[in-house]
Amino acid sequence: MSPKVVVTNWVHPEVLEVLAPHCRVEANDGREPWPEQELLARCADARAMMAFMPDRVDEGFLAACPDLGIVACALKGFDNFDVAACTRRGVWVTVVPDLLTEPTAELAVGHLIALGRNMPAGDRAVRAGFAGWRPRLYGAGLDGSVVGILGAGRVGSAIAERLQGFGCAAILYADVEALDPERESALGMGRVDFEELLGASDFLVVAAPLNRDTRHLVDAGALGRMKPGCRLVNISRGSVVDEGAVAAALEAGTLAGYGADVFELEDWALDDRPVDIPAGLLDARDNTFFTPHLGSAVDRVRVEIGLRAADAIVQYLRGERPDGAVNDPTPS
C-alpha cells in the first residue's frame, strides 16, 4: 500500500497533483483547521504531514503518530514545532524559508501607512455618511519620520528595502547581529541598541523571531520607554509583544497606534498562551489596524509555498534528503 500523506489545511489543486502519484493523499478541503482529535486520528498512520500555522507538533503528537517520517511545514517560522523531539524520533522537519519574505514586508509597509494615515477610521467615516472634506483624522506619514525595525533578518531587511522611496528621516534597526556594512549602506539602515530604537522611532516594526529571549520583549516597560506618539506594528509573532500592555498603552494615550497581522493566541507551542485577543485591543478601533495573518496571503506565493512543501515530501518518500530541512534525524 502506498504511503499516506496528510495535508492539514486547504491548498491549491496543483499542490495535491504533485503529491498524488507518490502517495495516498488525505487533504483538508475546508478553510478551517481540523479539530485536534480529528487531526490526530488522520495522522495516526500517516507517513508524512504537510503542516501549517495552526498546527502544533510536540512529543505527545509524535507518540500518537508513530509512522510519521516528515513534517513539511508550508511556512517559514517553525516555533510551533518541537524540532528536538522530531529529531529524537527520526522525523524530518522542513520549512519554506524564502518565499514569505517579500509579501510579509509588503504587508508591513501597508500597516505602517494604514495606521499612520488613519485609513481604517477614514473608511468607517465614509461609510457612515460622507459630505466632503473636513479637517479631521490628521495622522502621521512616513516622509520625515524615523522608522525603527526590531530584527534585521530577511523580513526586517526587506521592509527597509521597501521604505527607501518614502523619504523617511532615518531607518534604524536593533538586532543581536549587525548587518554587513555594505548591506546596511545599501538599505539605508543604521544600527542602534534596543533602548535607542525605542526612544527614537516614530514608527516601530517588530520583525523579530519568537524565542525565549524575545517573548514579550515589547512589554509595559518597553512601551513606557518609547517615543511619545510612536506607532507600533507587529508582523512577526504575536508573543514578541505583550498585547495586554499594548492595550493599556493605547488607552493611556502613550502609544499612538498599534497594527498587527499576528496575535499571541496563534503561538500554539506556548502552554500559557491566551485564547483570545484582549478586548482592550479590539475595542480600540480608532488607533488600531488588524489583519488575520495575511503576511503570505498572495495567491501565487501560496501556490509556490505549497509546491515547495510537496516537493520536500516527495523527496523524503524517494529516500532523499528533503529540501528546507531544519534538522537531520538520520543516524550518525
User: 205 is written with which cell numbers?
Assistant: 516594526
What residue numbers bound the domain in which 106 lies?
Answer: 101-290
Q: Are residues 155 and 212 in the same domain?
A: yes
**For the chain (length 332 residues), average pLDDT per consecutive 10?**
95 98 97 96 98 96 97 93 96 94 97 97 95 95 98 96 97 96 96 98 97 96 97 97 98 97 95 94 94 96 97 98 96 75
Active site residue 237: yes
Beta strands (DSSP E) in 52-132 are: 70-73, 92-94
Statement to judge: residues 65 and 125 lie in one domain: no
Task: Residue 132: count other Cβ atoms within 10 Å of its Cβ.
Answer: 4
User: Are 109 and 195 part of one and the same domain?
Assistant: yes
Q: Is 266 a catalytic residue?
A: yes
Dihedral pair phi/psi, residue 41, rounded to 5°: -65, -40
Choosing from 24, 117, 191, 293, which is the catalytic residue? Answer: 293
Q: Identify whether 15 is part of a domain.
A: yes
DSSP 3-state of 221: helix
237, 243, 264, 304: the catalytic one is: 237
Is 147 inside any structural domain? Answer: yes
* CATH number for the domain that contains residue 266: 3.40.50.720
Same domain, residue pair 131 and 257: yes
Active-site residue, selected from the candidate residues 26, 196, 251, 266: 266
Q: Is 293 a catalytic residue?
A: yes
- 21 in a domain, yes or no? yes
Residue 307 maps to a domain: yes
Asked if 170 and 222 sit in the same domain, the reply is yes
pLDDT tens figures, 52-96: 999 999 999 999 999 999 999 999 989 899 999 999 999 999 999
Nearest to 274 by CA among 238, 315, 318, 224: 238
What is the reported pLDDT for 77? 86
How many whole angstroms separate alpha carbon 216 and alpha carbon 222? 9
Same domain, 24 and 132: no
The string of pLDDT tens digits covering residues 182-198 is 999 999 999 999 999 99
Beta carbons within 8 Å of 302's beta carbon, 6+ residues apart: 11, 12, 296
Shared domain check, 167 and 90: no
What cell does 286 get? Answer: 480608532
Q: Are residues 77 and 138 in the same domain?
A: no
Residue 323 lies in a domain: no
In a domain, 167, yes or no: yes
Same domain, 276 and 136: yes
Q: What is the pLDDT of residue 1?
A: 77
Please state the pTM of the whole predicted model: 0.93
Give yes or no: residues 221 and 127 share one domain. Answer: yes
Q: How many domains does the structure of the chain reveal?
A: 2
Percent of all residues in the chain with a pLDDT value above 90, rounded to a whole number: 95
